Chain A
Amino acid sequence: MAAQPNGTADAPIEVSSIPTVVGINFGNSYASIAVLAKEGSADCIANEDGERQIACAVAFLGEEVYIGNQAKPQLVKNSHNTIMGFRNLLGKKFSEIPQDKPITSAPVIQHPEQPDVPAYKVQVLQAAPSPLPKSTTTTPAASNTATPRSEPVPAERILTVLEVTTLFLKSLVQSAEDFLGRKVQGAVISVPTWFDSIQRNALQKAAEDAGIRVLQLLEVAGAAALITTTGLTPKELSHDRTQLVVDLGASSLELSLLSIREGIAFSLATLSDPTVSGNAIDDKLIKFFAKEFTKKTKTPLTVAPATESQDKRAEAKLRLAVEHTKRTLSASPGAATCSVESLKDGLDFTGTITRLRFDMEVRSVYDQVYTRVKELVEKAGLDLYDVDEIVYVGGSTSLPGLDETLAQGFPESIVTPFTAGTVIGGGVGDPTTIISRGCALQAKLVVVLPDDTDDEREILASFTDGHNWTQTATSKTIGMLFPEENAEGPLGGQWIPAVLRDTVVPARRLYRLDVDLGEGEGEKKVGFEVWEAKEGVKIDRVKPPKLDDEEDAPADDEEEEEEDIEVKEKTVEKETLLTALSFAAKEARQVEGRWT
């Protein structure tokens, strides 16, 4: 302001009327941050390292503390001082944490003083206790010779899971503030569906300790639903639809089947499987490259699992390197490379893999996702053909091979971010940014809610942790049946579903449509019956068409048993007549001889 001694009355920049809020996707392996953009949308931002996917890792090396992606390379030589996987331990007692998994980062220990509290012990260098300050106020500066800084001393530092989380979240918010140039005034943070209230409370506490005002802890599926129901709905999709959220992260698969009815969402079923994961994909990929390495260099290398310490170090290097390989494979159909300097015995390695080969190597993981999806839909009492849309969440769902695998079981009309073309280039369907963006939009919604009256506080409370806003919903679809002369099928007319099953009540649906009134003159009448319907999916098994060249095929008797092809079709049956309406058409228009 020194340049403008007289100042001005105008605000120097356009001040946004809503407080500065962010959305934080806090995964067990990666986090991301989104801010509100001018156009009312949300954008995932890169941190000071240029990363949008920020590794949930904290490493200590001497006097340095690395947070985020810079901490991960420490896994190679300094794994005991590198802390990872802390989010999933929030709210857990030490005795509740299984100790059977192989450890590749700092082990979880029992806190030396606090009973049953999980913690990490790291080796650090601490500045030596500074010499007693001399009488600072009276000593003239000139006489203050530079005291040589004494060598820092090795020390042990104990951090609880909560403290590590606080440290990490603080650095996320710092990145956002550096980007925005403003203080962050509130955040919505994502939580997995399976987080109970103890885990949520622990996260809330860690965030508050980091100085964050937590507006809401929002379950991942909610953030995904929010993004996909905000803005334009693709024309292939109805505002009333069944949505499958597939979240494949680094350490687990999380599935949710959602009923979305005019923007209101609830869960029909959830499923979680820690054995299906991005890490499992990495296992396959690093094994593939280790084999390549051995083929090229004749140096034995056994990874995933590795037993020798040299191999363990090589495995850690490969794991870091395939991160890049996978992202290249997702982004482009060509081949991707994996390069590691001094992988083993001082030998460098560069390998390539095509998308085709990659999909082959990790096929079993794709298939497991598909199996779990079928289980989930069955659990909800539905069929894959009842699903209208798939939404992808989590880095590993960026892989097109996964979408291709799943698509086989769904109707051709299924909408996925791949069919919609919104996966890459920061599209709305980008699975790596969707959660942080959803959280940011939610933050924008809740931060402006007032809390002056009891009613307002009740509304506010319906968003906060622990509040279970339950509501009744229909169990069957209600629709309009427009009777028709000689109609095809058992319904006897044109069926228009109006209030789908699993619609929260009270509900209102308004439709506008044209009705064919025929060709004749005279009074025109519109009439329809209102029915509750029974819906289902009919499965026909048909013999596959015989191939012409069958005789030429080798006679491999066992394998030739051809499977019937399933042909699925959605069915609707009238079940209960509720009422009927008939009225004269007042606004009939004649178009090409017919009245509508």
Chain B
Amino acid sequence: MANVRELSVVPPPLPASWTPPAASGKSISPLVTRRLIPAGPAYLAHVKRAVHNLTFEEHDK
């Protein structure tokens, strides 16, 4: 169920001077807790991954 989304944007060429900055080591903002609406196949897939402790890749198989 790997949904690869095709994007139509074409990013411009890299500036000659650009070098990748080092990873900042920062983490993303705090997560919030939400109650999922129990509907649809995507919800089912999510619950299956959680219950069986699967990664996306394992679940794809």
User: What is the interface of chain A, defined by CB distance below 8 A to chain B?
Assistant: 216, 218-219, 221-223, 225-226, 229-230, 239, 258-259, 262-267, 438, 442, 445, 449, 455, 458-459, 462-463, 467-476, 478, 482-485, 487, 493-494, 496, 502, 504-506, 508-518, 525-529, 532, 576-582, 596
Contacts and interface: CB of A to CB of B under 8 A. Distances in A.
Contact of A509 (B5, B19, B35): B5
Contacts of A577: 21, 24, 26
B46 to A, nearest CB: 6
A442 B40 contact: yes
B8 to A, nearest CB: 8
B34 A494 contact: no
Given A226-B39, A576-B24, A459 B51 contact: yes
A504 B44 CA distance: 14
Contacts of A473: 31-34
Interface of B: 2-16, 18-24, 26-44, 46-52, 55-56
B24 to A, nearest CB: 5
Contacts of B55: 506
Contacts of B19: 582
Contact of A469 (B13, B16, B36, B49): B36
A239 B30 CA distance: 24
A337 B5 CA distance: 50
B29 to A, nearest CB: 5
B39 A265 contact: yes
Contacts of A527: 14, 18, 20
A455 B39 contact: no
A259 B2 CA distance: 20
Contacts of A445: 40-41, 44
A483 B16 CA distance: 10
Given A263-B41, A483-B14, A496-B11, A582 B20 contact: yes
Interface of B is mostly: loop
Most buried by A among B29, B35, B48, B56: B29
B11 A493 contact: yes
B20 A580 contact: yes
A428 to B, nearest CB: 15
A462 B5 contact: no
A24 to B, nearest CB: 15
A216 B38 contact: yes
Contacts, number: 194
B26 A506 contact: no
A517 to B, nearest CB: 6
Contacts of A267: 34-35, 37
A305 to B, nearest CB: 39
B9 A496 contact: yes
A119 to B, nearest CB: 33
Given A455-B51, A472-B34, A576-B26, A226 B40 contact: yes
A473 B32 CA distance: 5
B24 A471 contact: no
Nearest to B22: A580
B31 A505 contact: yes
A470 B34 contact: yes
B13 to A, nearest CB: 4
Contacts of B5: 239, 509-512
B24 A578 contact: yes
Given A265-B40, A463-B38, A529 B12 contact: no
Contacts of A463: 38
Contacts of B31: 472-475, 505
A289 to B, nearest CB: 41
Given A226-B40, A442-B39, A578-B28, A516 B48 contact: no
A129 B13 CA distance: 92
Contact of A510 (B3, B23, B37, B42): B3
A220 to B, nearest CB: 10
B39 A223 contact: yes
Most buried by B among A467, A470, A508: A508
B15 A483 contact: yes
A462 B44 CA distance: 9
A510 B35 contact: no
A472 B36 CA distance: 10
Nearest to B27: A578
A438 B16 CA distance: 53
Nearest to B28: A532
A266 B8 CA distance: 28
Given A222-B38, A474-B29, 16 more contacts: A218-B39, A221-B37, A262-B3, A263-B41, A264-B40, A267-B37, A445-B41, A467-B38, A472-B32, A483-B18, A496-B9, A514-B10, A515-B10, A516-B11, A580-B20, A580-B22
A532 B38 contact: no
Contact of A512 (B4, B11, B42): B4
B55 to A, nearest CB: 8
